[in-house]
Amino acid sequence: MSDILRIAVQKKGRLATDSNRLLDEAGLGFFRNPGALTCRARGLPVELLFVRDDDIPSLVAKGVCNLGIAGENVLREEALENPDTQELQTVRALGFSRCTLKLAAPKEGKIRTVSDLQGLKIATSYPQILGVYLKEKNIQAKCVTLKGAVEIAPALGLADAICDLVSSGATLAANGLCDFARVMKSEALLVRSNTRWSAAQETTLARLLRRIDGIIASRATKYIMLNAPKSAVDEITALLPGADAPTIMPLAGRDDQMAVHAVCREEIFWDTLEALEARGANAILVLPIEKMMG
């Protein structure tokens, strides 16, 4: 049994950039030659395999790779089509490549709800997921499977509606479509095989997960620094989102002011900054946190 942990990631596409960034930030230290299909990391005993995202579930299910990063949409579609991949375990939800599988139809047309789809044709790259959804809703419709460019199917007369991934909705709008129902939400997941691993592979996964957890936590976390009038320190610290124990320090040469530093575990919106300022906070800085542990 190999001691190297093998991870399947998308070769090129919407998942690839964020997957590579995560693994890079986790200190894998890999340099990929353009065109290379595998790559050995320098920072941990890990090998990356670059493949099409649709192949990731079965490569991991077969044990060719220990781990894979794939969208929930692809994992679910594959699990419905190929029962071997139902055994995959989700190790972490990674918080990127968020999108929603939605039903959409021409803006000018008559389709406004799911029940309007009875007897019609729907173009999609996810026939299994769509099939289950339509069955639950008691709709009999024909799925037209297309691997890409699903949005143009109605204009080409190939289908009456589509079921496709949407993030901002700009592509739908650009094709004169309007969404009317949500089939599933998706984000990238780290999944592992159910096959036997060596102790060394388990140890590498534990190290990798600690790093990934640190990265996920630090992405949602900011460091805030500000100066506050002494009289308003309590009121101001109470406004800091998700800060447990702020550091409060005197400011050299300023008897009336204190410096407040805190780690905020929730997003800091402009409204919060305005509310802080309204209570006298000044010299407010919000900084990203690069790494976090413990």
Which pair of structure tokens corresponds to residue 53? 């995202």
Using CB under 6 A as the binding rule, the residues of this chain from 177 to 236 that contact ligand ATP are: 186
Closer to ligand ATP by Cβ: residue 34 or 253:
34
Name which position in 18, 47, 54, 187 contacts Zn ion (CB under 5 A): 54
Task: Provide long-range contacts, Cβ within 8 A and 24+ apart, for 175-179.
Answer: 175/151, 176/106, 176/107, 176/108, 177/104, 177/105, 177/106, 177/107, 177/151, 178/104, 178/105, 178/106, 178/107, 179/102, 179/103, 179/104
The two tokens of residue 69 are 């990063």
Question: Could you give the string, one character per residue 71-110, with x where binding to ligand ATP holds by CB under 6 A and - elsewhere?
Answer: x-xx----------------------x-x-----------
Burial of 60 (0-12, 13-18, 19+ CB in 10 A): buried
| 175 touches ligand ATP (CB under 6 A) | no
164 forms part of the interface with ligand ATP (CB under 6 A): no
What x/- string results for residues 2 through 31 when contact with ligand ATP is judged by CB under 6 A?
--------x--xxx----------------
To the nearest whole angstrom, how small is the minimum distance from the Cβ of residue 71 to Zn ion?
Answer: 9
User: 74: how many CB neighbours lie within 10 A of its CB?
Assistant: 25
Q: Residue type for 205, please? A: L
The site for Zn ion, by CB under 5 A, has a size of 2
Single out the segment in contact with ligand ATP by CB under 6 A; choices: 47-55, 155-163, 203-211, 220-228: 47-55
Out of 26, 41, 159, 165, the only residue in the binding site for ligand ATP (CB under 6 A) is: 165
